[in-house]
Structures are given as C-alpha cells and as structure tokens.
Chains A and B, each alone.
Chain A
Amino acid sequence: MVESYLRQSALAHLGLEARDQSGQEGAQVRLQEKVLPAAVNLRGDPSDEGFLAATHQALGVALPLEPNRVESSERIAVLWLGPNEWLAVSHDDEPTAESRLAERLREALADSHAAVTEVGESLACIHIAGPRAADVIAKGCPLDLHPGAFTAGHCAQSHIAKTAVTLHQVDDAGAAAGPGYDLYTRRSFSDYLWRWLSDAAREYLGA
C-alpha cells in the first residue's frame, strides 16, 4: 500500500499562482508550470506482439513506434524516447495516480520481458506557448521546431540552455494561441530553466 502524501510543485517557491495573470491573453509567450506529472518510464521489445498488446490495453493508447512521436488520449500521453523506451505521462496530481498507472502496466506485463519505472518525482513540467514560443526555445535548443519539421504530436529529447529536456509539442503553430510545448526537465533544474525561459522571453513582452 502506497502512503499518500502531499506532492509539492517544483516551482512552489516562486509563488507563480499569486502572480498577476492579466495580460496573458494574447501574449506572445506564455509560461506556466503544469501540475507534477504522473510519469512512468517503460522499456520493452516492440517486436514482441504480446508486449505491444499488453501496453495498449494498460495505457488505453498504442505505443508510438515511429521515432519522435507521441500517442495520446485525453488522459495520457505516451512519448517515444528510444527504440525500446517510452515515457507515459498524465497530468494528474492525485497522489496515487502514478502508482496506479505503474501497477496497471506491471500487471499487464507480468509475462513480458519489460521494465516499468516510476519517474514522475524526478520531473517537472513547464508549459510554454504563444506565437513566439518556438523562438524562445530556439535561443537555447538545437532542435528544428519549424512547423515544416515539427508539429503537434512530435516529441524529442534534447537540451535547452545546457539542461536536458524532453520536449512534447501539444499545440500546432496554426492554433489560435500559437504553438504550445510541454518541457519536461529534471526537477532540480526546473528553477534554472524557468528563469532562463523568462529571461529569453523578455524581448517579446508587450510586443
């Protein structure tokens, strides 16, 4: 039995919730910390039909087999991390969400050669969106985020300002509010990344 406890946001010390949110509407760049992700790292053999079927059943979505792609539902996003590695994330801050997700996978994969690891506690998720969001990221990241190369449903692991990030594009450039990205980074780097992004976005303030 997992004891429930309070999970504290990685950026709680910045008091983001108390900040004035007016003027966010129509802003060129918007930054927001998402609730702590319930995240599970999954390793297994994609050529094993049983593994694919079991994970599909446990997650509700099929594993993305194409590199740098995400399969998602309302509830969960499954990111391709490597040829035999995925990250299943749900933005559910209910304290047992992650252990329940891991348990479902472990049960389904009892007969498979696979590994299920809870990793949500190590991560923080910063959401950056707006017409100039890709320009802000591009200041410190070598990924090609041009809409011709990268769209909603793509993901990639890379670095922003020397910090390792897993980037998931959730909204297309054509969306009314501009493109949106979920940036997963190590919890201990989230303060640095937040400040770096805020600074990089300064030139688009009031544009």
Chain B
Amino acid sequence: MLLIPCPYCGLRSETEFSNGGEAHIVRPENPEALSDAEWAEFVFLRDNPKGVLLERWNHAQGCRRWFNVARDTVTYEILAVYPMGAAPPALDRRRVV
C-alpha cells in the first residue's frame, strides 16, 4: 500500500485516495476547430511512460481536495506533490531505474 502525502492532511493511506488520471491535459480553446484526430488525442490519448508520470489525485475519503502528484511508474515512488494549477516541479523526466 502506498502512503500518499496529501498536501493538506499529510501522509495517508492510498485507500483514502482516488486517481484522476494524467495531469495538465488542457481543454482546447476552440473544440469546433479541431479535427477528429485532434479531438480524440485530447479525449482519449494519454502518456504511459516508464518513469515519471504527472497525475491528479483526489483525497476522496479525506479532505476531498484535488492535487497533482509526480510518481515514478516503475518504483511507485512519489517524487513531488503540488497544488492544482501549479506548474510541475523540475524533475528528471527520463529517470530510468
């Protein structure tokens, strides 16, 4: 079980959280100007890196706040936690284990 540092409540069990998928997916300003392929890219296609993934988490069974997490998908190590709307911290995105 992971211990996830909620930026508000502190270290809590993974079972209190729900994963909200990849972070920093920006909704296109003019959806009607997009091709079907570009719309599909926005709606469906996500990164699946072996290494650092920036994702959203919600402390669903705790304070119910959203926040961003930088997590290594190989080691499950949580490298950073930062608020919604903030830019991701500088991390070595090509971290390999």
CB distance from B8 to the nearest CB of A (A): 5
Q: How far is the CA of A158 from the CA of B15 in the complex (A)?
A: 9
CB<8 Å pairs between A and B, sample of 25: A67-B8, A67-B9, A67-B10, A68-B9, A82-B8, A82-B63, A82-B64, A82-B65, A83-B8, A83-B63, A83-B65, A142-B12, A142-B13, A142-B15, A143-B12, A143-B13, A156-B9, A157-B9, A157-B62, A158-B12, A158-B16, A158-B62, A159-B16, A159-B61, A164-B61
A85 with B63: CB separation less than 8 A: yes
Name the B residues within 8 Å of A157 (CB-CB).
9, 61-63
Interface on chain B toward A: helix, strand, loop, or mixed SS? loop
Chain B residues bordering chain A, tally (CB within 8 A): 13
Residue A81 at the chain B interface, CB threshold 8 Å: yes
Main secondary structure of the interface of A (DSSP, over half): strand
Closest 10 CB pairs of A and B: A142-B13, A82-B63, A157-B62, A159-B61, A83-B8, A67-B9, A164-B61, A158-B16, A67-B8, A142-B15
A142-B13, A142-B16 are contacts. A156–B62 as well, Cβ < 8 Å?
yes
